[in-house]
């Protein structure tokens, strides 16, 4: 009986302090991604090998979620279509959830992603927040607009886990899962801003055949 009362009291305290289960359930999402992609997950020792090739019909969708403390979860979809490949890179066009094609393009060189935001731009910017530190385990420093920043990355059971300093010197945690082709399968970014919890999540999915065809038709114009 005492144990039961203690459990209830603990739950009440957690609820008052806002520590009940968050509405986004990151652990279940990660578990599902790992199960669906078993045998196709990027491990540190894979980085010395060539990425698994993608076919030109490859299209990936992303379910993107944003959560702010005690607020609603904002959800949207977007799509990336492989439209060109050469001996050194794969190139992707971007469409929003309304199948409107933007000027944004991604260039995947081995496992590193570069981005350009305009048709006349170039692929000089890293997609990763951590630039050349994206796949380096342990502590790593990189240059950004404010000087040097440091991240600390570990790898566990298919998940790349990076801890870094966010706004106001608060610690944030980013978790990432990649395929052996270098495709981002999952990314989350969790931390606090001005004392309030923030969370972002991006989870890959394979579009159904009709959506895939619609994306292909638009990007081929």
pLDDT at 12: 31
**Is residue 17 domain-resident?**
no
Spans of the chain below 70 pLDDT = 1-24, 70, 167-169
**Is residue 211 domain-resident?**
yes
**Which residues form the domain of 89?**
25-219
3-state helix/strand/coil string of 79-122: EEEEEEECCCCEEEEEEECCCCEEEEEEEEECCEEEEECCCCCC
Q: Which single residue is written with the structure tokens 């990425």?
A: 51
pLDDT at 6: 35
**Is residue 2 domain-resident?**
no
Q: Where are the alpha helices (DSSP H) in the chain?
A: 2-16, 26-36, 209-219
pLDDT at 182: 96
Measured CA to CA, the distance from residue 122 to residue 128 in angstroms comes to 16
Question: Using an 8 Å Cβ cutoff, are 143 and 133 in contact?
Answer: no
**Is residue 6 domain-resident?**
no
**Is residue 102 domain-resident?**
yes
pLDDT at 97: 94
**Is residue 162 domain-resident?**
yes
pLDDT at 73: 81
**Is residue 176 domain-resident?**
yes
**Is residue 19 domain-resident?**
no
pLDDT at 46: 97
| Number of folded domains that form the chain | 1
Measured CA to CA, the distance from residue 217 to residue 210 in angstroms comes to 11
Question: Using an 8 Å Cβ cutoff, are 186 and 175 in contact?
Answer: yes
């Amino acid at each position: 009986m005492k144990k039961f009362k203690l459990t209830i009291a603990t739950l009440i305290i957690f609820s008052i302090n806002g520590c009940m289960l968050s509405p986004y359930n990151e652990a279940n999402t990660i578990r599902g991604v790992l199960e669906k992609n078993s045998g196709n997950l990027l491990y540190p020792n894979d980085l010395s090998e060539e990425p698994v090739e993608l076919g030109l019909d490859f299209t990936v969708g992303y379910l993107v979620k944003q959560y702010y403390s005690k607020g609603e979860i904002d959800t949207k979809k977007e799509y990336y279509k492989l439209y060109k490949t050469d001996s050194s890179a794969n190139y992707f066009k971007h469409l929003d959830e309304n199948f409107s094609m933007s000027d944004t393009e991604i260039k995947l060189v081995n496992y590193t992603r570069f981005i350009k935001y305009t048709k006349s731009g170039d692929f000089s910017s890293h997609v990763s927040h951590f630039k050349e530190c994206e796949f380096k385990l342990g502590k790593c420093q990189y240059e950004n607009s404010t000087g040097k920043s440091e991240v600390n990355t570990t790898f566990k059971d298919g998940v790349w886990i990076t801890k870094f300093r966010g706004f106001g010197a608060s610690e944030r945690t980013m978790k990432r899962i990649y395929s052996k082709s270098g495709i981002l399968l999952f990314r989350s970014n969790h931390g606090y801003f001005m004392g309030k919890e923030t969370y972002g999540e991006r989870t890959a999915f394979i579009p159904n055949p009709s959506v895939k065809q619609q994306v292909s038709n638009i990007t081929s114009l």
